[in-house]
Structure 1
């Protein structure tokens, strides 16, 4: 059975960092966004080596703590454990969910990419995943993928009893059907960090989560 961290289930924007080689610039880009209240921040840098990844993750951790935003590390359980991050997010080739749970403990956030595969989501939750992520829902420039998720997956995954994350080309303009289908969070990289005004972009995403009408 999945062990979800204590407290209410999160909803809202799951902010994911871009590939940024300059640590000072990364912090300058992230800091004002944390003040807007994203649910989580994922540190993801596919172009960085181990030294830079450690440097950046260490630097992000106190920013997140000060803002009250859990920091989740992409792909690297050892890095998450080493810096005391709130958790880790694992793709299908990034390690074992149960092993990550055992290393990070019962209160850690352990996420799993499930792409377009409800069976993988069920197995991940059984292994101890705190949440499952589906996508891509729309074309995206962040990651090369041929897998396309549908809103039906979100309906089918609701009985799993964990937060559902939608990712892939989601904008404030196209998010409503995904939220209506049951997504608890939307994970975003370019929709925020490539926007002319990232703070305004964060606010536009968060507006989509306002009840009761999901900002129709």
Structure 2
């Protein structure tokens, strides 16, 4: 794939780590810091159970952590929160707002991603609107999100012509991540596969090896 990546540094590759619904900010930071050092390519802040004040507190703290580790922080769903904390970008689902509006608010340097589920047409529309990456899934059963749509790994290859990084999400483990990398995923997005692992740092390394 001739990847269109208009941001500093190489296009992303490897583990796209997503935070769990953690109410304790200090614990969230303590759990996350070693994972960034271990080699997560990106970090997405996602907490569906937190109120506005806690989300702002956690996103601000994670942004500082990510700056120290030189890891981009992507905020799930909330464009205004991403702007408020100076995050690298935002990830939008199909009901989370307009890509062009997010670009206007966050600027040309922001990384904007779009959930495309099991549909190439959604990815085509997202890229046409200015998305920097597209995410497909769920590829495997997942506990992190109810009512997920199932995506076929062949979709990753079909999306190669879009010229942007492709993210695979949904039930991904170190054992099945390589199959998605071989199908065309540039990143695998993971929550419980890392945070709930017996050794989260070892899990980060295992996911990274899937791309070697």
Partner of 2:139: 137
Matched residue of 2:139: which SS?
coil
Distance (whole Å) between structure 2 residues aligned to residue 142 and residue 44 of structure 1: 11
Aligned residues: 209
Displacement, 1:190? Answer: 0.5
CA contact 2:5–2:11 (8 Å) conserved in 1: no
**Contact 2:136 / 2:151 at 8 angstroms: preserved in 1?**
yes
Query: In the aligned structure 1, how far is the partner of 2:5 from the partner of 2:165?
Result: 12
Note the C-alpha offset of 1:74. Answer: 0.3
Secondary structure in 2 matching 1:133: strand
Q: Does 1:87 align with 2:77?
A: no
Q: TM-score, normalised on structure 2?
A: 0.96
Alignment of 1:152 with 2:154, yes or no, is: yes
Distance 2:6 2:21 in 1: 29
d(CA) in 2 for partners of 1:114, 1:146:
12
Q: 1:9 aligns with which of 2, 11, 25?
A: 11
Cα deviation, 1:74-127, whole Å, max 9, x if unaligned, reads 000000001110000000111101111111111110000000011010000011
Are the aligned partners of 1:114 and 1:132 in contact in 2 as well (CA < 8 Å)? yes
Structure 2 partner of 1:170: 172
Deviations 1:160-186 (A, max 9, x none): 000000000011101122111110000
Aligned residue in 2 for 1:206: 208
TM-score by length of structure 1 reads 0.94
* 1:1-216 matched pairs, under 5 angstroms: 4-210=6-212
Measure, in 2, the Cα distance between the counterparts of 1:12 and 1:73: 18
State the distance in 2 between where 1:108 and 1:145 align.
30
CA distance in 2, matches of 1:190, 1:109: 24
What is the rounded CA distance, in whole Å, between the counterparts of 2:147 and 2:209 in structure 1? 28
Q: Is contact 1:3-1:106 (8 Å) kept?
A: no
Unaligned runs of 5+ in 2: none
Residues of 2 paired with 1:121 and 1:201: CA distance? 29
Distance 2:148 2:30 in 1: 33
Structure 1: runs of 5+ lacking an equivalent: 211-216
Task: Return structure 1 stretches of 4+ with deviation > 6 angstroms.
Answer: none
Separation of aligned partners in 2, 1:68 and 1:197? 23
